Structure 1
Amino acid sequence: MPHEYRFVPVSRDDYPMLRRWLAQPHMAGWWGLPEAEIALIDGDLGAGSCDMRIVWADRPFGFVQDYPVRTYGAPHYGHLPDEARALDMFLGDPAYLGAGHGAGFLKARAAALFAQGTPALAVDPDPENHRAVATFARAGFRPLGMKACEDGAPVLVMDMWPEGLDPGRTADEKDLI
């Protein structure tokens, strides 16, 4: 059953909820300790380039942020135009796991960003995070291949382009998949 999702800007009032979500067992290994992640969110809140949102269906259940791909010096996004945006997300409320909400809200967020003129989107999940990789694929992200991120760790780069605007894959990019 399709859901309508709302994306409400993060505020400091959301920090207790975000801490609870980040402490959930399903988050272990994929996101940092709650206090460290809250400090990162707090550092980006209101800084301008990172748009952080709480995702709602019938109640708040997830987090999504998007930012220009050049913001954090991410070499693995070098194939994208400067105006492209990278996304990070999680489902915090475990009651929403396994029901298609991750892919559903990613599709909705992507549609909104494309409607605002974003030329492309990208994500960089840990290749061992099979749930995240599958969610991104169901949302429409396509794997580009394994690359080293800004700290040298391997990530699976996946991208999404507006309908009809995908530049295709070069021979080198196809070899990475």
Structure 2
Amino acid sequence: MTSFELRPAGPSDAPRIALWMSQPHIRRWWHQGWSVERWAQEIEQQAAGEHSTPYVVAADGEEFAYVELYRVRHDRLAEYYAYGEEDWGVHVAIGDVARVGQGLGRQVLRWLADEVLRTEPDCSQVVAEPDIENTPSVRAFAAAGFVQHGELQLPEKTALLMVRTRAV
């Protein structure tokens, strides 16, 4: 069983995150192949706000992914579905190319959703909006207990609203 750890990202993580986000399997979907400096600014900006918190995730002690957990009520996603006031959203990018395609995505997604639901008692659901064409991501969310709740036409993509509730 893989053990996961989540820690807040800081500006010192910007070189690693910039490298991860420049990987073709991430850049295609995230469109954030930014410079180290731009990532340091993004991390500081997120950490200072109420909308989203950036994290680095480790599996068995090895950091391998970038995660953003966000309050849907502060996100543009709130314009696209009847959100609950305490809904949380999640974005995940597995940056370590050696870890891609091994089922780690579904494991970390299930773990993250479980952690949010455990630590946020008023939250009834965790949501995500992967690009409908990002089949590996959609499959990972489904395998982690997220259920499709229809398509969303966002400005930059057609997304699937994926929802994980406490009942799973």
TM-score of the two chains, using structure 1 as the length reference: 0.83
Does residue 9 (structure 1) correspond to residue 8 (structure 2)? The answer is yes
Q: Aligned partners of 1:72, 1:80: CA distance in 2, in Å?
A: 11
- The equivalent of 1:94 in structure 2 is 97
1:128 to 130, 133, 138: 133
Indicate conservation of the 8 Å contact 2:10/2:43, yes or no.
no
Bigger strand fraction: 2
- The equivalent of 1:138 in structure 2 is 143
- The equivalent of 1:52 in structure 2 is 54
Q: Name the % identity.
A: 24
- Structure 1 residues 42-80: Cα deviation after superposition (integer angstroms, max 9, x where no partner): 42123233222101013100011111112123222x222
- The equivalent of 1:119 in structure 2 is 124
Range with bigger deviation, 27-36 or 133-142 = 27-36
Bigger helix fraction: 2
Indicate conservation of the 8 Å contact 1:122/1:157, yes or no.
yes
Q: Aligned partners of 2:106, 2:8: CA distance in 1, in Å?
A: 20
Q: Aligned partners of 2:143, 2:43: CA distance in 1, in Å?
A: 27
Q: Aligned partners of 1:4, 1:130: CA distance in 2, in Å?
A: 25
Which residue identity is paired with 2:118?
A
Where 1:157 maps in the other structure, the secondary structure is strand
Q: 1:124: Cα distance to partner?
A: 0.4
Indicate conservation of the 8 Å contact 1:124/1:156, yes or no.
yes
- The equivalent of 1:175 in structure 2 is none
Indicate conservation of the 8 Å contact 1:7/1:53, yes or no.
yes
Structure with max Cα Rg: 1
Which residue identity is paired with 1:34?
G
Where 1:8 maps in the other structure, the secondary structure is strand
Q: Paired residues, what number? A: 161
RMSD of aligned Cα (Å): 1.8
Indicate conservation of the 8 Å contact 1:64/1:87, yes or no.
yes
Q: Aligned partners of 1:32, 1:41: CA distance in 2, in Å?
A: 16
Indicate conservation of the 8 Å contact 1:55/1:62, yes or no.
yes
Q: 1:103: Cα distance to partner?
A: 0.9
